[in-house]
């Protein structure tokens, strides 16, 4: 009997698909059934060869060998870490009883590329169809398997994905070598990335703006009325009037302390604010960064787990903020699935507390292009809760606190679009004293909280906390009303430096300049942070350029670090995806630019003292006490660079929920133990103190007495 081979992207997704397809015979690297065989990749099984794997002469970095370029057909290689699973897939493809293949990888540009490169290197000649699933629930998978796509639909997507991969390879390899040899004199490796270098430039630029900023004090005059609200002194253009010194503001108050003022202008405006658009990954990362301090990587990790492991969230790596009409037809079932999370009787809770949720209100939402618009759906629709009959049990008993936080944000945003508008009355009045001094008051009266009741327990946004916006103004106030001053007072302020980029605002920054995609932004940030010689660090939720990062950016020519670089390339990639530009045209242009830029680098006379660069790499260097090799700061721990040779020294960032400082890590490495440290947390609650010691097996243990 002929069979169909299904290739998923990960083992967990493969197991879900095998269950849906009735496959139960577990074997090494795949699960087989009567009609289907389900296997899986483990992320990337195939990558691009290093330059020296093409040509031995390129093992040594030399200027005369730049630039280089290799055809994609000869550039693919099996990655050694996952070679075993690649061979499993290859053997399954070559089985005589396999009729055709279903590409069931992640539905998107990079997921599609992973699969196509596997088939190419495996020598596949069999037909391939494509599964495009928005979630991994049984129902969604059954629907996707009954609506397979033809491979020909994705020809341009493959060209776009390969152009992205080859462009990044060409620029990264050629510029890293060129910068290292020309600007670093070959003594310090200067890594280049098409996305990460412009991002680093923006972070370094902000560092410099803050360092150069000189704060200037200024002073405002405010009034509080006996009628119960406040105002601020403004000029004839209704702009806030400021004073350069406290004395000037005090003199003003002293000379203008009039008790009565007359309302010369009073306006009211009814404002209705609909719920925000649904989340895409970038918006979710920004919200979780702002609300909980999660970095982009952590939010993506939680969302991926909710999608892949728990199956209560749709595909997370999406750029869309809207639903498709196909999804909208099933929206009532999505609501039924998620409502129990908010109450034992979700429908009653919605009706009593948040307004009536009826078929009419649902239909009204579906008609809104702000929420449902096929033209604005990219590879995947916005993030929404899935149709899962076990959602309440999963939410209550299986999610970690971080997963629960992420899911609730998505669920609230989803529910919000079905609730009524946030409605308020915006009030603006101007009051004038006998000396013709003008005071501005802004206030609002909430008439209907609407969708905002979902966020009643959240901390108010800063914009809603201003005294002017929160003034409660009596309805009896109108033009010509006489107001009575209760007191005048001065507010001391100063100009503020630009804010450092936070775990939230850095995503907005990357979106603005089209640096990366929802699928790649977290990894771009990580490459800058967790390399052997970090270019940036994260301190208290803010990003700073390291000394190496600052010196590196000073070395890189403007074109290679411009924040507009990535937007230019993304436009070309989109043109390939739309069939308006060929991959070869783009790559030929890229290679010409690389050659021209390398020549400009060679002709450049300006060089920085590379001792500065070497010092920035070496000044805080730590060494392994067992093998003498360098200790690097990784994503989750400090680790020895000799791990490939078997060294097991690894120091976690946290021990018993206490974060170790670099000084304490240095003590462990150089002295074998720390002093007494406070703040370790007991499992049963409370804290304790102890020393830490580094054992011969490379592990860290508590030391309660010497």
Residues tagged active-site? 315
| SS3 (DSSP) at 647 | coil
Residue carrying structure tokens 């649904």: 278
What tokens appear for 501 in the block? 């980029």
Please state, in angstroms and rounded to a whole number, the distance separating the CA atoms of residues 604 and 600.
6
DSSP letter string, 56-115: GGGGS--GGG-S----GGGTEEE-GGGHHHHHHHHHHHT-TTEEEEEEES-SSHHHHHHH
The CA–CA distances, whole Å, from 382 to 139, 278, 311, 328 equal: 18, 6, 16, 11
Closest Cα to residue 5, out of 27, 26, 33? Answer: 33
Give the whole-angstrom CA distance, residue 200 versus residue 547.
Answer: 12
The span from the CA of 8 to the CA of 38, in Å, is 7
Give the 3-state DSSP-derived string for 127-170, with helices as H, strands as E and coil as C: CEEECCCCCCCHHHHHHHHCCCEEHHHHHHHHHHHHHHHHHHHH
81 burial type by CB count under 10 A (0-12 exposed, 13-18 middle, 19+ buried) = exposed
The SS3 call for residue 417 is coil
Report which of 526, 460, 588, 598 is spatially closest to residue 180, judged by C-alpha positions.
598
Token digits of residue 39: 């296997």
Euclidean distance between CA atoms 569 and 508, whole angstroms = 19
| Alpha carbons 474 and 469: distance in angstroms, whole number | 14
3-state secondary structure of 48: strand
The residues, any chain, with a CB within 8 Å of residue 215's CB and separated by 6 or more, are 494, 495, 496, 497
Q: Which long-range contacts (CB under 8 A, 24 or more apart) does 534-539 make?
A: 534/633, 535/196, 535/200, 536/200, 536/203, 538/295, 538/503
CA dist., res. 626 & res. 668, Å (int): 12
Distance CA 388, CA 334 (A): 8
Q: Could you give the CA distance from residue 514 to residue 503 in angstroms, rounded to a whole number?
A: 17
**Positive or negative CA dihedral for 507, 513, 519, 521?**
negative
Task: Give how far the C-alpha of residue 301 lies from the chain's centroid of Cα atoms, to the nearest Å.
Answer: 10
Tokens of 201: 């430039």
- DSSP E strands: which ranges in 187-259? 217-225, 230-234, 242-243
CA atoms within 13 A on the CB side of 116: 21
Question: With contact defined as beta carbons under 8 Å apart, do 267 and 273 qualify?
Answer: no
Q: Is the dihedral of CA 239, 240, 241, 245 positive or negative?
A: negative
């Amino acid at each position: 009997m002929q069979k169909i081979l299904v290739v998923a992207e990960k083992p967990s997704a493969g197991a879900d698909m095998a269950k849906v397809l009735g496959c139960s015979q577990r074997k090494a690297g795949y699960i087989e059934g009567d009609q289907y065989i389900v296997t899986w990749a483990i992320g990337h099984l195939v990558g691009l060869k290093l330059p020296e794997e093409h040509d031995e002469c390129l093992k040594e970095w030399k200027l005369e060998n730049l630039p280089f370029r290799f055809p994609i057909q000869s550039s693919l290689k099996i990655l050694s870490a996952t070679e075993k699973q690649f061979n499993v897939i290859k053997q399954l493809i070559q089985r005589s009883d396999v009729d055709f293949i279903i590409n069931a990888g992640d539905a998107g540009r990079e997921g599609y590329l992973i699969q196509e490169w596997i088939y190419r290197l495996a020598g596949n000649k069999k037909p391939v169809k494509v599964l495009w699933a928005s979630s991994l629930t049984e129902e969604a998978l059954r629907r996707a398997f009954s609506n397979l796509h033809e491979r020909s639909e994705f020809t341009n997507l493959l060209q776009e994905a390969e152009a992205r991969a080859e462009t990044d390879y060409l620029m990264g390899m050629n510029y890293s070598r060129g910068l290292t040899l020309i600007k670093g004199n070959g003594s310090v490796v200067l890594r280049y990335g098409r996305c990460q270098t412009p991002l680093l430039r923006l972070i370094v630029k902000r560092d410099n703006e803050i360092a150069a900023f000189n704060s200037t004090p200024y002073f405002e005059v405010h009034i509080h009325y006996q009628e119960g609200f406040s105002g601020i002194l403004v000029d004839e253009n209704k702009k806030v009037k400021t004073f350069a010194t406290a004395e000037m503001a005090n003199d003003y108050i002293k000379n203008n302390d009039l008790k009565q003022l007359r309302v010369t202008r009073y306006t009211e405006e009814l404002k209705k604010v609909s719920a925000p658009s649904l989340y895409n990954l970038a918006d979710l990362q920004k919200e979780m960064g702002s609300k909980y301090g999660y970095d982009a990587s952590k939010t993506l990790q939680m969302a991926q787990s909710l999608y892949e492991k728990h199956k209560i969230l749709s595909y997370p790596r999406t750029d869309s903020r809207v639903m498709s009409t196909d999804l909208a037809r099933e929206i009532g079932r999505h609501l039924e699935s998620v409502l129990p999370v908010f109450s034992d009787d979700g429908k009653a809770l919605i009706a009593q507390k948040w307004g009536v949720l009826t078929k009419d209100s649902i239909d009204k939402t579906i008609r809104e292009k702000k929420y449902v618009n096929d033209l604005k759906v990219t590879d995947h629709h916005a993030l929404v809760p899935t149709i899962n009959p076990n959602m309440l049990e999963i939410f209550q008993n299986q999610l970690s606190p971080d997963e629960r936080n992420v899911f609730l944000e998505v669920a609230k945003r989803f529910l919000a679009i079905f609730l009524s508008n946030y409605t308020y009355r915006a009030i603006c009045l101007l009051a004038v004293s006998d000396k013709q001094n003008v005071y501005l008051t802004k206030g609002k009266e909430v008439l209907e909280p609407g969708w905002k009741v979902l966020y009643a327990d959240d901390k108010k946004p800063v914009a809603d906390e201003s005294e002017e916006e929160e003034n409660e103004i009596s309805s009896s106030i109108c033009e010509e009303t006489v107001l009575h001053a209760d007191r005048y007072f001065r507010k001391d302020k100063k100009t503020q430096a630009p804010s450092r980029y936070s775990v939230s605002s850095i995503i907005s920054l990357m979106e603005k300049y089209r640096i990366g995609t929802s699928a790649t932004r977290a990894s771009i940030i990580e490459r800058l942070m967790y390399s052997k010689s970090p270019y940036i660090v994260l301190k208290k939720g803010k990003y700073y350029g390291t000394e190496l990062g600052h010196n590196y950016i000073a070395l890189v020519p403007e074109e290679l670090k411009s924040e507009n670089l990535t937007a230019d390339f993304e436009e070309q990639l989109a043109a390939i995806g739309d069939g308006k530009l060929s991959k070869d045209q783009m790559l030929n242009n890229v290679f010409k630019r690389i050659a021209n830029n390398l020549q400009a680098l060679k002709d450049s006379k300006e060089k920085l003292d590379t001792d500065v660069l070497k010092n920035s790499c070496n000044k805080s260097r730590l060494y392994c006490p067992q093998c003498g090799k360098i200790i690097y700061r990784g994503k989750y721990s400090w680790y020895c660079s000799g791990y490939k040779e078997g060294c097991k020294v690894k120091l976690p960032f946290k021990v018993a929920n206490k974060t170790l400082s670099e000084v304490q890590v240095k003590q462990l490495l150089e002295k074998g133990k720390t002093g007494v440290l406070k703040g370790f947390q007991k499992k049963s609650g409370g804290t304790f103190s102890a020393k830490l010691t580094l054992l011969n097996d490379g592990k860290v243990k508590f030391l309660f007495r010497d």
